[in-house]
Every structure is written in structure tokens, then in C-alpha cells.
Amino acid sequence: MQRVTRLPLLMDTICQKTPLKTVEHASTVFALKTISKLVKKCNDGARTMERTEQMYTIQKQMEFGKIKPFPLISASRWLLKSGELAVCLEELNIFSKAFSHKSFFLFLFNDVLIITKKKSEESYIVIEYATLDNVTVELEPQAIKQGGSAPFPLKLSMKKNGDGRFGHLVLAAESQLDRARWVKALQKRQQFNYLASKEGLPQCEVIKAYIPKQPDELGLQQAELVIILQREEGWLYGERMRDGEQGWFPASCATEITDLTAVAGNMRRMQRLRETNV
């Protein structure tokens, strides 16, 4: 699969080196479009199979109890991020917050957020859920009660939860990076992917392949090109130029491109590849 995904890049290079308005150039353009469709079909098939298996596994691990069950398995649903966050206990003084040892385990999908309590390593009791249309996230001020252990709070507001009520919850991440990743994932539904908005943004070249360990991370091959969208504590959030996939990866895996001519050329290549629906 890794070699297959490089074929459009190779064919694009051949296209650029073939004289325009010739039979050979027309043939290479046709080959590029054909290979691009093949690669997209391979990627979509592998991704769909992986996501479906994951959804069945998660469904079996959830216990809804008195909460109205949510039909989790769907071909159009996949996991964006999951993990444990501490619960914030708000006191009378709004400028002071304490964090309990209690925590919730969140499952964030592309259309719904499910808040659970961990029962065991492979079992979760559903506390609440809401579709992402009804969920907003805000950064909470980092004014923590003395002795507090989690200084990176965020506030979740659910306009209509599983019981049809309004509610909000203040949670805390272990680090600034962890909070940034949760906020990015929760706001992903509201983000738009316009090519024009990427003009002038920094780019990097991957010097060491990276295999993602979390759903919100980006898999990278050596020599891959990525647009940098955000930096946080030694990590980068970027967009893979060949296919538009976005995610987090360690900054140590890539080196920033400083040649402006190369940056402009990469943008032109990205536009050509996107036009072939890779």
C-alpha cells in the first residue's frame, strides 16, 4: 500500500517532464488520472474496513444502562479521538478550581461525542452523549486552586444531550498538547478545507516515517510533504499534501522547507494531485 500511494507522485513528475501538446503528454496525463483513481479506491477500501472493525469493537465495549442506547455502528461514522480527562470541581470562587481524582473516558466520533466512565480496560459505562451539532468547546482560564494537579481545563457545553437536557462539563487535560489536540478534534466539524487558505503557510518534508498511534495522528512516509497548520510542544498539526489528510505528528519527524521557490512548486503540485481526486 505504501508503494501504491507513491505512484501518483511519480506519474506527476513524468507529466511535468513530458513536452506539452504531444501524444506522450496526453498519455501520461491519462495514466496519472487512472492511477490516482486506483490509489483512492485502495485507500478508501482499506480505511472503510479498518473503521468498521473498530466501530464493532467499541460498540461491544459500551454499556448504556439507563441512558437511551445510541446506534453507534454506521458506515459513515468513525473515531476521531478517545482518551481520559479529569473532572473539574467548580467552587464558589469562579477564579479557583480544584480537580478531583474522578475522570471520564471520552469517545469522539465525526458526528457524536460519547462520555463514559471506565469500568475495566475493555468496558465503559455511558454517562452522556450528544451529536456534535449540539457540542461546543471553550478554553477555561488556567486559574487553579493551590494544590490542583491539572492546569489545562476545557469546558464542554451540550445543548441537547442523551436525555434531551442542556448541560456543561469542565474537564482537564494532562498537558497543553493534550488539550490542544482535544480542542482541535472537537472543532474539526466546523473547520473548512479551502486550498486558498493554505497559501503562504509553512511546509515541511518528512525525514523519518511515522506510524500513527492515536486516531488524531497523521501517518507519514519518508520524503512526504506536509503543510504546517499548528505547532504545540514539539508536535505539529499538518495536512498531507498528496491527499489532504490532517493530523498530529512529532516535529522531530520533519524539517521545515525554507526555499520559497520549492514551497510554491509544492503548492502547484498539490493542486494538480487534488484535481485527480487522490
Domain 192-278 in this protein, CATH class: mainly beta
Give the integer Cα–Cα distance in Å for 138 and 84. 18
| pLDDT bucket at 144, cuts 50 / 70 / 90 | very low
The domains of the chain are located at: 1-61, 64-190, 192-278
Portion of the chain with pLDDT greater than 90, in percent: 49
pLDDT at residue 196 in the model: 52
Q: Per residue in 227-244, pLDDT tens?
A: 999 999 999 999 999 888
Does 147 score more than 60 pLDDT? no
Q: Per residue in 175-205, pLDDT tens?
A: 999 999 999 999 886 665 544 578 889 999 9
Strands (E), the chain: 62-63, 79-90, 97-109, 112-120, 123-131, 135-139, 152-158, 167-173, 203-206, 225-232, 235-240, 246-250, 254-256
Instruction: Work out the average pLDDT over 67-80.
Output: 89
Domain 64-190 in this protein, CATH class: mainly beta
Inter-residue contact 70 to 95 (CB < 8 Å) = no
Does 277 score more than 70 pLDDT? no
4: which DSSP letter? G
Closest to 63 in 3D by CA, of 124, 105, 127, 109: 124
How much is the pTM? 0.82
By DSSP bridging, strand 123-131 and strand 62-63 are: parallel
pLDDT at residue 214 in the model: 94
Joined grid coordinates for residue 273: 494531485
Closest to 130 in 3D by CA, of 155, 153, 157: 157
Q: Per residue in 91-128, pLDDT tens?
A: 434 444 555 568 999 999 999 999 999 999 889 999 99
Does 3 score more than 60 pLDDT? yes
pLDDT at residue 9 in the model: 83
Instruction: Work out the average pLDDT over 142-150.
Output: 49
- CA of 76: how far to CAs of 51, 73, 127, 169, 250, in Å? 9, 9, 24, 27, 29
pLDDT at residue 91 in the model: 42
